[in-house]
C-alpha cells in the first residue's frame, strides 16, 4: 500500500535536511536580518505573503483511484527566523473505479525553516478539513499533512517553492468509498511565494566594526559638535539631527520636515523621506528622552478643506507607522491640520511648498 511507502519517504526527506541545516544554521545565523544589539523584531523579515501552487496527487491504494492534479492558494506570514504560519485552500481531482473524485479543502500549516537564505529548506505540518466526492457520493472529512520542502529566492518579492507531503484523510463514516473511510495519499506541490512590502536589509554581524577614533578632548568649553546651539559640556542629547530645535539641555523639542516627502496627493513616503526618517528614528532611539511626540501633518491650500484635512492626517499617520516600524518606543500621536496653519503665502508655489510639511513636537 502507498501509506507504507509514504511515511518512510517523508521521514527520509526531513532527516536528509538535518545535517545541512545544522552546518548551515551556524554560518547563516550570523547573516540573519537582525542585529542582536537591538530588539530582533525591528529587523527580521515578518512580511505577509500569498502563495499560489499546483499539485500532483499520488493516490493511496484504498481509494482504488488514479493519480490526479489540482491547485490552490495560500496566504501566510513569516513569524521569525524559523517559523511561518499559513492558511491554504485547494481543489484536486482524479478518476477512479467509482467514478471521478474531487477533493475541496483547506489546512492551517506551520512551517519550520532550518535556515533562511537564497535556498531555504523547511519541514511542514498541517491540519484541516476537506469535502470528498466520488461521483455523486460526497462527505466531509478531516485531514492531516506532514512533509518537507524548500524555497528558492529569485527576487526579494518572488520565491519559487516546492514540497512533498504525506496526507492522512478520514471521512468520518461518510462511506464515500465503500469499505473504508481512511485514505493515505502523497501530494507534491509546486508554486511560488510573493511577499508584500520591502524586505528588511541584512546586517552582517561577522564583519568587524570599523575602529572608532577616540574623541578629541574639547579644549574649548563652548564647543558645539552637533551645531544645535548648546555647548557639548551642557548637551544631554549629543548628535541631534540637523535643523532640530532643542531645549536648554540640547534635547529635541521640535523638528520640521520640509520638501518632497510624499508622492503627489498620497501618503506614500518617498525614498528621500524614508532615508531622513531612518536617521531620525536612530536619533530618537539613542535619545534618553521618553517624551510623547506629536506628529503633525500640514498641507497647502490646493484642494478642498475636507480633502486636505484627510490627506494631512494620513501623512502624519504614515510617518508614525514608519517610525514605529524602525523601533521608536516613544508614544507617537498622529494629527492632521490640513491647510489651517500655513507658514507661508499659499498664493505662490514657493509658499505652498513651505506649507506642505510634517512637524514633530516633543511634548513636555
CATH of the domain at 338: 3.30.1330.60
Please check the confidence at residue 158 and state whether its pLDDT lies above 80: yes
Please give the model's pTM, rounded to 2 decimal places.
Answer: 0.48
- Does 269 lie in the same domain as 184? no
Q: Are residues 23 and 129 located together in one domain of the fold?
A: yes
The percentage of the chain sitting over the pLDDT mark of 70, rounded to a whole number, equals 77
183 and 261 fall within a common domain: no
Which domain does 190 fall in, by range? 2-195
Reply yes or no on whether the pLDDT at 1 is more than 70. Answer: no
In a domain, 110, yes or no: yes
Same domain, 105 and 169: yes
Assign residue 25 a region: left if phi > 0, alpha if psi is -120 to 50, beta otherwise?
alpha
pLDDT score, position 226: 66
| pLDDT of 209 higher than 70 | no
Q: Do 108 and 250 have their domain in common?
A: no
Last residue of some domain: 156, 173, 195?
195
Q: What is the CA radius of gyration of the chain?
A: 29
Could you tell me if 122 and 113 are in contact, meaning their C-beta atoms sit under 8 angstroms apart? yes
Q: Pick from 195, 210, 233: which residue ends a domain?
A: 195
Task: Please count the structural domains in the chain.
Answer: 2
Cell numbers for 250: 540640547
Domain termination site, one of 195, 222, 256: 195
In a domain, 217, yes or no: no
Q: How confident is the model at residue 225 (pLDDT cuts 50, 70, 90)?
A: low
CA-CA distance, 43 to 45, in Å (whole number)? 7
Q: State the number of CA atoms in the 13 A half-sphere of 133 facing the CB.
A: 10
186 in the same domain as 111: yes
Across 4-18, 28-42, 218-232, 312-326, the highest mean pLDDT is recorded for 312-326
Same domain, 296 and 188: no
DSSP reduced 3-state for 351: helix
Cα–Cα distance for residue pair 302/355, rounded to 1 Å: 11
**Per residue in 344-361, pLDDT tens?**
898 898 888 888 888 888
User: For residue 141, is it within any domain?
Assistant: yes
User: What is the domain-level CATH number for residue 183?
Assistant: 2.40.160.20
The whole-number pLDDT of residue 193 equals 96
- Does the structure show a pLDDT above 80 at 271? yes
Is residue 200 one of the residues assigned to a domain? no
Q: Is residue 231 part of a domain?
A: no
The pLDDT of 120-144, averaged and rounded, is 91
On whether the CB atoms of residues 95 and 86 are closer than 8 A, the answer is no
For residues 221-249, give the mean pLDDT. Answer: 71
Measured at the CA of 319, the angle between CA 315 and CA 325, to 5 degrees, comes to 140
- Which is more confidently placed, 260 or 186? 186
Check residue 131 and give its pLDDT.
92
Average confidence score pLDDT of the chain: 80
pLDDT band at 144 (very low <50, low <70, confident <90, very high): very high
65 and 169 inside one domain? yes
- Start-to-end C-alpha separation, the chain: 74
254 and 136 fall within a common domain: no
The closest of 188, 178, 189 to 62, measured between CA atoms, is 178
The C-alpha atoms of residue 147 and residue 111 are separated, in whole angstroms, by 10
pLDDT in tens, 171-198: 888 778 777 888 899 999 999 999 998 8
Report H helices in the chain. 2-28, 271-286, 305-325, 349-355
Mean pLDDT of all residues in 145-153 = 96
* Domain-embedded: residue 240: no
What gap in Å lies between CA 91 and CA 322, rounded to an integer? Answer: 39
Residues 270 and 187 in one domain: no
* Residues near 30 by beta carbon (within 8 Å), at least 6 away in sequence: 204, 205, 206
186 and 116 fall within a common domain? yes
Which residues are paired to 68 by β-bridges? 57
Residue 211 lies in a domain: no
171 within domain boundaries: yes
Same domain, 189 and 297: no
Amino acid at each position: 500500500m502507498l501509506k507504507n511507502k509514504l511515511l518512510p519517504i517523508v521521514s527520509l526527506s526531513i532527516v536528509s535536511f538535518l545535517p545541512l541545516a545544522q552546518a548551515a544554521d551556524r554560518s547563516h545565523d550570523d547573516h540573519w536580518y537582525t542585529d542582536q544589539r537591538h530588539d530582533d523584531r525591528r529587523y527580521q523579515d515578518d512580511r505577509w505573503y500569498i502563495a499560489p501552487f499546483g499539485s500532483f496527487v499520488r493516490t493511496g491504494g484504498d481509494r482504488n483511484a488514479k493519480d490526479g492534479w489540482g491547485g490552490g492558494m495560500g496566504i501566510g506570514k513569516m513569524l521569525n527566523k524559523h517559523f511561518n504560519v499559513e492558511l491554504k485552500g485547494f481543489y484536486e481531482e482524479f478518476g477512479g473505479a467509482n467514478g471521478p473524485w474531487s477533493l475541496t479543502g483547506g489546512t492551517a500549516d506551520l512551517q519550520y525553516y532550518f535556515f533562511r537564505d537564497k535556498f531555504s529548506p523547511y519541514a511542514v505540518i498541517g491540519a484541516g478539513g476537506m469535502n470528498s466526492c466520488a461521483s455523486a457520493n460526497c462527505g466531509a472529512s478531516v485531514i492531516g499533512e506532514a512533509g518537507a520542502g524548500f524555497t528558492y529566492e529569485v527576487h526579494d518579492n518572488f520565491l519559487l517553492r516546492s514540497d512533498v507531503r504525506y496526507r492522512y484523510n478520514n471521512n468520518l463514516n461518510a462511506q464515500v468509498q465503500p469499505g473504508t473511510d481512511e485514505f493515505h495519499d502523497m501530494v507534491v506541490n509546486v508554486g511560488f511565494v510573493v511577499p508584500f512590502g520591502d524586505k528588511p536589509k541584512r546586517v552582517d554581524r561577522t564583519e568587524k566594526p570599523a575602529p572608532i577614533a577616540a574623541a578629541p578632548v574639547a579644549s574649548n568649553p563652548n564647543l558645539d559638535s552637533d551645531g544645535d546651539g548648546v555647548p557639548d559640556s551642557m548637551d544631554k542629547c549629543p548628535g541631534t539631527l540637523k535643523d532640530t530645535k532643542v531645549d536648554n539641555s540640547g534635547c529635541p523639542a521640535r523638528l520640521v520636515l520640509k520638501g518632497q516627502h510624499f508622492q503627489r496627493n498620497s501618503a506614500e513616503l518617498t525614498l528621500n523621506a524614508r532615508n531622513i526618517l531612518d536617521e531620525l528614528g536612530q536619533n530618537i532611539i539613542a535619545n534618553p528622552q521618553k517624551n510623547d511626540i506629536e506628529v503633525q501633518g500640514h498641507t497647502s491650500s490646493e484642494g478642498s478643506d475636507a480633502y486636505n484635512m484627510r490627506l494631512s492626517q494620513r501623512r502624519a499617520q504614515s510617518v508614525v507607522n514608519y517610525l514605529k516600524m524602525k523601533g521608536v518606543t516613544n508614544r507617537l500621536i498622529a494629527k492632521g491640520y490640513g491647510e489651517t496653519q500655513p507658514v507661508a503665502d499659499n498664493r505662490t508655489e514657493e509658499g505652498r511648498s513651505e506649507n506642505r510639511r510634517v512637524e514633530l513636537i516633543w511634548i513636555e
